[in-house]
Amino acid sequence: MLIDAGTGSMPRSRSAMAPAKARPKRTRAARRSTTGVIELEAVVDGRVAAIGAAGTNAAMAGLFFGSTMPWARGRGLQLAMIRHRIKLLQESGAIYVRAAAAVASSSERNFRRAGLEVAYTRTLWERRVAERSLSKA
């Protein structure tokens, strides 16, 4: 199944999609797995350019495994897949959608563009406990 990477909407037919040019317009929703996970991939010129997944447990849903190949970045694929996954989760009865991203990352920007808001910020704490190096010496 194809979706328009620009709008997240379903085209009427395969021929309704123009070939990818400067901004790819072809993404393909792979399937809903047997575990209830929605898997999505963006395909550009016959190659998988980006992936994303989502899962739901009643009213709560999560977006995860969003990744774009380096050669395909900056073309709006992740934002299109985020929006499409949210739409599918809404249709399945989810009330809340959650996702995690590093602060000030491209993922955070895409989540904000898709209407998600920061619920809280988590910090990572670290302390050196040994003087030895991690490299093999």
Q: Show the tokens assigned to 23.
A: 């901004």
Instruction: Say which CATH superfamily domain 2-113 falls into.
Output: Gcn5-related N-acetyltransferase (GNAT) (3.40.630.30)
pLDDT digits (tens, 9 = 90+) for 7-36: 444 322 222 223 333 334 455 554 556 567
pLDDT digits (tens, 9 = 90+) for 47-93: 999 999 999 988 999 999 999 999 999 999 999 999 999 999 999 99
- The kind and range of the H/E element at 58 are none
Say what the pLDDT of residue 132 is.
Answer: 83
d(Cα 55, Cα 85) in Å, to the nearest integer? 9
The DSSP call for residue 11 is: P
Q: Are the C-beta atoms of residues 41 and 25 closer than 8 Å to each other?
A: no
Give me the residue spans of the domains in the chain.
Answer: 2-113
pLDDT at 107 over 90: yes
Taking alpha carbons only, the member of 39, 36, 37, 14 closest to residue 25 is 14
Q: Are the C-beta atoms of residues 61 and 97 closer than 8 Å to each other?
A: yes
Say what the pLDDT of residue 133 is.
Answer: 79
C-alpha distances (whole Å) from 99 to each of 51, 90, 102 are 15, 15, 10
